[in-house]
A and B are shown apart, each in its own frame.
Chain A
């Protein structure tokens, strides 16, 4: 009982002070125990998006209590599922259809209000399309310099992130009273979705109307594992020469390995593959157990998105291609011969 009473008393004190001078930099270390984190959970059609659960994992690394946040049409139902996530103490739910499409125009004031009300010291979202579009807007409303694509949490105010397409690793210390972070999905594994027992609470709903209207979406449908979280990824590049060849060679190999399909920017630009499959600095970051690159030279921008893969294999006819410098297994050869051969031999073994 005692710790709970103490915590709520502290929270009450914090709630009285202005959100802005909550913690001045000089105080922050001595008050580290007061920290509390809000993890933004994504949902889609009433289902939790597990890709966003890295935010919870990152939150638990900070040490204080972690609350989850969901909003949308069926937020309360989603909150019941979210309550089972390990590491969450509480789930804040705002049920309102207005938030269903994740528009930052009404989500940003929604979050700003709930952050102020909860007196959170840390707010974490996944570095997903949703998190990237939303969190900077929230940061501006709170007058905070957000930190993007965090790979590692050193302490409550010190974070590690890649810059220059991962060619340099920056450690920064934030002097802001509230720390807003988006976290790299490949650096923080999703939290377990079973075994937790968080309470569910209604959040505040400022009901700010969005000036932006959601019209439609066009999502690539696939039975394959999701690219960002797949155990294995088979990726094709410019060397495949055409969309037909890409579709003839890459999917069977991916099937043989149970892998997701990725592509280099060159392949996407040439129309071989959908843009959502792009791996790299400006596409997705992946860190699978196996990354198999066919016909990809290994430009800086591509390596930025895959060089944390456990094992990298490549097939390329140019023995001097930069991809060989990072590949654990490199095969110099014509991919039009080698890929089908590899596919056949893998199939024969399974």
Chain B
């Protein structure tokens, strides 16, 4: 008798990957107002994988998407539902009090316990803060097995086999549910939400919650001292031909 999968997919609303972020002039952060936001690319892979598990006839009972952030996260969750999540939970967190990965992990632990999730698929990192911590922290808090940077997932009965990206290649791990998986880019190719599915997603349930509902304080441990532009690199200009290139590389001491 195989276990019914109750999948939790945490998603994050981030500045779109194609936008070059601009540092605010007061050096307190990156300009986010009036900038295009999207679903974090790694989280798209998580939803896609959850939906594919269902399509591969794994016994998926439910796919729940969750996001913690300001009101606009609801759009992100609608996208997740248009891609195939069944319902979603939006935990309202003001933009200026954004949670750190540890806070998110504590929140997700509470949600996973309440929703009785047995498989949590997260992106390996959010492309804004680039921490790459939440999945592992959550696995630690729940004391569940973890497989990070997954490029292939297969589930048979309650055994999960994951191929994961490591330095120099890949390795394969096996564990029993419940489990935490974080996604890497090679895992799948996320689908586009079709218009009918976008329309349907509007009717799907989106619950509004607060941090207090889950008993999480969300106090930060890190203080931002400053955010700066990286040093600008000056292009050294172009050379005419291969000989010019070799001469310039020699001049620069690179060869």
A contact set with B: CB distance below 8 Å: 51, 103-105, 108, 128-130, 132-141, 143-149, 158, 161-176, 210-220, 226, 228, 232, 257, 265, 268-269, 274-276, 281-282, 284, 289-290, 300-301, 307, 310-313, 315, 319, 324-333, 338, 341-342, 345-346, 349
Contacts and interface: CB of A to CB of B under 8 A. Distances in A.
Contact of B228 (A132, A149, A169, A307): A169
Interface stretch (B60-68, B69-77, B85-93, B233-241): B233-241
A169 B227 contact: yes
Interface stretch (B112-120, B168-176, B208-216): B168-176
A182 B141 CA distance: 20
Interface in B151-184: 151, 161, 165-176, 184
B124 to A, nearest CB: 8
A219 to B, nearest CB: 4
Interface stretch (B1-9, B47-55, B99-107, B190-198): B99-107
Given A213-B173, A290-B254, A329-B249, A129 B149 contact: yes
A328 B238 contact: no
B130 A331 contact: no
A137 B146 contact: yes
B221 A144 contact: yes
Contact of B146 (A105, A149, A281, A290): A105
Nearest to A154: B225
Interface in B25-62: 30
Contacts of A136: 101, 131-137, 140
A148 B131 CA distance: 5
Contacts of B203: none
Contacts of B174: 212-213, 215
A211 B144 CA distance: 8
Contacts of A301: 17
A172 B169 contact: no
A331 B172 contact: no
Contact of A257 (B165, B176, B184, B255): B255
Given A145-B102, A217-B169, A331 B235 contact: no
Contacts of A167: 20-21, 30, 230
Contact of B239 (A133, A330, A341): A330
